[in-house]
Amino acid sequence: MSRPEMAALGWDELDVLFISGDAYVDHYSLGSVLLARWLVAHGFRAGLVCQPRWDSPDDLLVMGRPRLFAGVSAGALDSLLAHYTAFRKKRHDDAYTPGGRAGARPNRACIVYANLARQAFPGLPVVLGGIEASLRRVSHYDFWTDSLRRSILMDAKADLLLYGMGERATLECARRLQNGQDIRGIDGSAWLDSLNADGLPAHLPPELAASPGLRLPSHESLRDDPPQLLRQTRLLEQQVHSLDRWAFEPVGQRAVVLARPAAPLTTGEMDALYSLPFSRKAHPSYSEAVPAEEMLRTSITSHRGCGGGCSFCSLAIHQGRRISSRSQDSLLAEARQLAADFPSRRGGLAISDVGGPTANMWQGHCALEDQRKPDGHAPRCRRESCCFPTVCRAFITPQLRHVELLRAIQALPGVRQVRVASGVRADLALREPEALAAYTGEFTGGQLKVAPEHCVPHVLARMRKPPLETFEAFLESFVRQSRRAGREQYVVPYLMSGFPGCTDEDMRTLAQWLARRHWTPQQTQCFIPTPGSLATAMFYAGCDENGEPLHVARTDAQRLRQHRILMPRFGRPRPAS
């Protein structure tokens, strides 16, 4: 935004300034854009500075000092993940930057932007948010430096960190500052405190002091006893899922205090949020296209959250396992608007995806929640995944309803076709053969993404993935339904190398399984130990949850060797033409 844009809105100052590592594309997939529109819808004046230069605070000063706080985010990706490959090589592209070139955001962007905000606006509260901050809210293993790092709160010297999905917490933060109230204690937030003589946070807000907190392993214990990181990660997963406990992590004489997680949005709140007037276009000031704009334009988010709980995925401590879904009416309204705003000359708009982390979890919910008592309590679930080791009987996923939704969208005037690019979960699809037949025959554009990840039992178990037999049953059904529909279609399996506990021999077993099926792998990634996942804790500790020692491919050479068992040409120079 700029001063002229503020003037056009009749604003002479901002209440909140968001600083983001992404270019400005007016789409709800970008957290800072979403939160800015959410605050504006609730009567606040919010602006954005996107990809500011980081050698000077000048870009932050363009719209003046905000009245309430500065919100800092690295963007849609952790900045180090955006900059480096699994083998710690520099990336040369960035889909969230004009021209697609890397280098428009700094490494550890949250820390850099927070420092800039303090330089630009002395005394103004600085609030961290987004995926980089959320996953680094407590001590964490940092793959890029092969070290244990403290909470990002301590390095950024921020006043508050909002973890998880931040709509409720951001709005509450703005309201409290508007009213001159303390911002500590907001659900879904974290902050720093000192420890008292009893080793507890010394200045707890009243709403937390009334209940016992969950004590996480101290930073020092994680450093001296790496398996403690496994315990910390499991405790955080439980805290996020239970929604009713605050927690703290001792760090020397200080503590990182985590308020209770923010409750997931209701369907009504999701509908209100996603119906805000997003243009889906990049800011007109850009002279070059932002690659993500095209990718995001034709996709529709139907829900957030994932019950899978895969050990290599950080969603468990960010979005959580509870699923928040939009209503069918809301999704149909967005599809109509899409078709009107972006008409196609090819017989109608092709909508590339209607989904979320996993497409066929729309409207998924736990039957135990339906047993909630008048006092708000429900039977406590102690599972770490709704789908592993088997799909929980209480996990309800009405996939035929999802199919009806897709059919209703595809029947809209101006819509030519609908796809589920976010992929489906095989074990869930097998529970509803009629839905699987529809996904296969009606909503697959030649290729369907499925993530078996591996084929070796002990590797799959540590990934919290279903056994290979489940994927093979899904594949058999997919082939049968494709033939019945008269379509030549393929499954694109997502595979992983370098996972903790996976040996070179395990990778050769996977390669042999692929060879028997005459498959050449296309989507193979080497495991990246990102903060917050159980698999990252295994990588750091060198053992699994039960303390059993694991083979860990730690060096880039070891990881590359595993990767090349599946993809022999990976990283090698191309032969001269």
Q: Tokens 């080793």 sit at which residue?
A: 199
Same domain, 373 and 502: yes
Q: Where is pLDDT greater, at 490 or 31?
A: 31
Same domain, 179 and 304: no
Q: Tokens 């039960």 sit at which residue?
A: 546
| C-alpha–C-alpha distance, residues 384 and 321, integer Å | 9
pLDDT at 377: 59
- Reported as half-sphere exposure (CB side, CA atoms, 13 A), residue 394 has a value of 15
Q: Where is pLDDT greater, at 23 or 423?
A: 23
Q: What is the mean pLDDT of the chain?
A: 94
CA 22, 25, 28, 29: dihedral to nearest 10 degrees? -50
Quickly state the pLDDT bin for 464 (edges 50, 70, 90): very high
Same domain, 172 and 310: no
pLDDT over 60 at 573, yes or no = no
Q: State mean pLDDT over 70-74.
A: 99
Neighbours of 420 (CB within 10 A): 25
| C-alpha–C-alpha distance, residues 127 and 160, integer Å | 5
Q: State mean pLDDT over 222-231.
A: 98
CA distances from 166 to 179, 417, 470 (A): 20, 33, 36
pLDDT in tens, 81-99: 999 999 999 999 999 999 9
In a domain, 265, yes or no: no
Same domain, 322 and 175: no
Same domain, 164 and 308: no
* Under 8 Å between Cβ of 484 and 490: no
pLDDT at 313: 94
Enclosing domain of residue 35: 3-183
Q: Where are the beta strands (DSSP E) in 472-562?
A: 490-497, 523-526
In a domain, 303, yes or no: yes
In a domain, 58, yes or no: yes
Q: State mean pLDDT over 254-259.
A: 98
pLDDT in tens, 514-539: 999 988 887 789 999 999 999 999 99
Same domain, 179 and 307: no
Long-range (24+ apart) CB contacts under 8 A made by 91-97 are 93/291, 95/290, 95/291, 95/292, 95/295, 96/21, 96/22, 96/23, 96/25, 96/30, 96/290, 96/291, 96/292, 97/22, 97/23, 97/51, 97/290
Structure tokens at 321: 């396992």
Q: Tell me what percent of the residues of the chain surpass a pLDDT of 70.
A: 97
In a domain, 79, yes or no: yes
The CATH number for 169's domain is 3.40.50.280
pLDDT at 169: 98
In a domain, 234, yes or no: no
Same domain, 398 and 526: yes
- What phi-psi label fits residue 291: left (phi over 0), alpha (psi between -120 and 50 degrees) or beta? alpha
In a domain, 353, yes or no: yes
CB environment 519-532: b (16+ within 10 A), e (fewer): eeeeebebbbbbbb
Quickly state the pLDDT bin for 378 (edges 50, 70, 90): low
Q: Tell me what percent of the residues of the chain surpass a pLDDT of 90.
A: 87
Q: State mean pLDDT over 236-265.
A: 96
Lowest mean pLDDT among 23-32, 108-117, 364-373, 498-507: 364-373
Structure tokens at 60: 């932050």
Cβ within 8 Å of residue 297, ≥6 positions away: 27, 280, 338, 342
Residue type, 457: P
pLDDT over 90 at 557, yes or no = yes
In a domain, 188, yes or no: no
Residue type, 213: G
pLDDT at 562: 96
In a domain, 348, yes or no: yes
pLDDT over 50 at 577, yes or no = no
* Under 8 Å between Cβ of 219 and 255: no
| C-alpha–C-alpha distance, residues 570 and 417, integer Å | 35
Final residue in a domain of this structure, among 167, 183, 199: 183
pLDDT at 568: 86
Angle 399-410/328-341 helices, nearest 10 degrees? Answer: 30
49 bridge partner residues: 19
The CATH number for 531's domain is 3.80.30.20
Final residue in a domain of this structure, among 183, 217, 232: 183
Same domain, 172 and 305: no
pLDDT at 427: 96
Q: Domain tally for the chain?
A: 2
Same domain, 304 and 169: no
